[in-house]
Amino acid sequence: MKPASKLVPIPKNGVDYRGKVVLAPMVRSGELPSRLLALKYGADLVWGPETVDKAMIGTTRRCNPLTSTIDFTRVSSNGVRNPSLGTNQRESIIYRLHPQREGRRLVFQLGTSNPENAVKAAKLVAADVSGIDVNAGCPKPFSTTGGMGAALLRTPDVLCAILRALVREVGEVYEIGISVKMRLLETPEQTEELVRKLERAIREQLRMIADVCREAGVACLMNGDVVDRDSAIELIKDYGVDGAMIATAAERNPSCFRSKEEGGLASWEEVVREYMKVALEVENRWGNTKFLLSQIMPGKDPKYVKTNQSKSYEEVVQILGLEEELADVARDVDKRLDIKPKETRAERKAKANESARAAGGDTRKAKKQRPTQRMPQPRVNHSQPGVATPEMPLDVSREAGPGSLSEAQAPVLAV
């Protein structure tokens, strides 16, 4: 008779990953509104987007009474240059979580290449999450050039040192789980060798794909081509793993976490309505909200183009036909976030004429003297010589960073 597999005890403030279908970590698509909507539709756990250790170090933890969230903020570069700005304009939100609605179902993913920095960053958020997950899977230059992400797979001793430090100084102190998300190497032998090193490094906290992992008795989650809860359950059975992650499918429609018996996929109209409610409740960054709407809405719908051209919450609520329910809230959020729609050409002309009349001048003269607008110049991407990228709004451009490849392209092991 085969002996029963041993199981590593679940930390007091941690969570058991076994039997779970979870939201995978994704830049942009892992922000607070997306996580809350995934939980609403049945996700068992949610991973936040990768947050680099140096971005977290030096932040201030604040309780936000307007959104009931916990915000980790720091003074922005614009705030440093302009100390006269108000607090909301001077500070940037690096990470935001909702303690009541996410509770102990949130896992914080950390981008790091240094044990000391990893511990400093993790300690800041450890009391508010159920686990710290090290990103050792992202293949994009944003991570790998700094020795983070998939680059850690080539320096297993560094990765092991990071995990040992996190287990000793964060996991054991705060009684939460420590995990690592990695991608498969070129050969099974390379992957097995790496994971066995990691297993020894953090005292049997990791498992290798099914067989090796089971020896240590710790949960193993896998993702790749997972489109909904039902396919996730099949993956768990087929590969003998403990749980599965959903990434791209959840970005398009977070109701994919519902089983067919529970209703299955909701219409995009329902998902957009629910997403807008949550985004406004937590005062999500406008650029991030606009991006997620573009992922959820079908490109052929007439509202899609108008939504992409919208400049504020109030405007997009009107486009989506949600004025009766959300117009007042949208207007208030626009004011608090200082979102000011650009003036139309007619509005600029009317303002110029009004100024001219107030000065006792000729409106035709004002028209002639109207300063010419300088067209925005493309910004050269020095990482790719000869490639130019258009200027992006601040709240969009600063979100650029490591992300996930399509699930078909990047099979990933998370343990």
Catalytic residue numbers read 138
Residue with tokens 């997620």: 292
Cα–Cα distance for residue pair 295/270, rounded to 1 Å:
14
Q: Report which residue type is found at 148.
A: M
Within 10 angstroms of residue 338's Cβ, the number of other Cβ atoms is 11
Helix (H) or strand (E) holding 77: helix 77-81
Helices (H), 167-267: 172-174, 188-201, 211-216, 229-239, 248-252
The Cα–Cα gap between 350 and 366 comes to 11
Strand order in 91-97's β-sheet?
60-64, 69-75, 91-97
Q: Which residues contact 267 (CB under 8 A, 6 or more apart)?
A: none
Of how many residues is the chain composed? Answer: 415
Q: Encoding tokens for residue 114? A: 């240094």
Distances (CA, A) of 253 to 34, 39, 250: 10, 12, 5
Strand extents, DSSP E, 60-218: 60-64, 69-75, 91-97, 106-111, 131-136, 177-183
Rounded to whole angstroms, how far apart are CA atoms 32 and 103? 12
Could you tell me if 20 and 243 are in contact, meaning their C-beta atoms sit under 8 angstroms apart?
yes
Bridging pattern class, strands 221-223 and 21-23: unpaired
Contacts of 182 by beta carbon, 8 Å cutoff, 6+ apart: 136, 137, 150, 153, 194, 195, 412, 413, 414, 415
Residues 232, 215: Cα–Cα separation, whole Å: 23
Query: Rounded to an integer, what is the distance from CA 144 to the centroid of its chain?
Result: 18
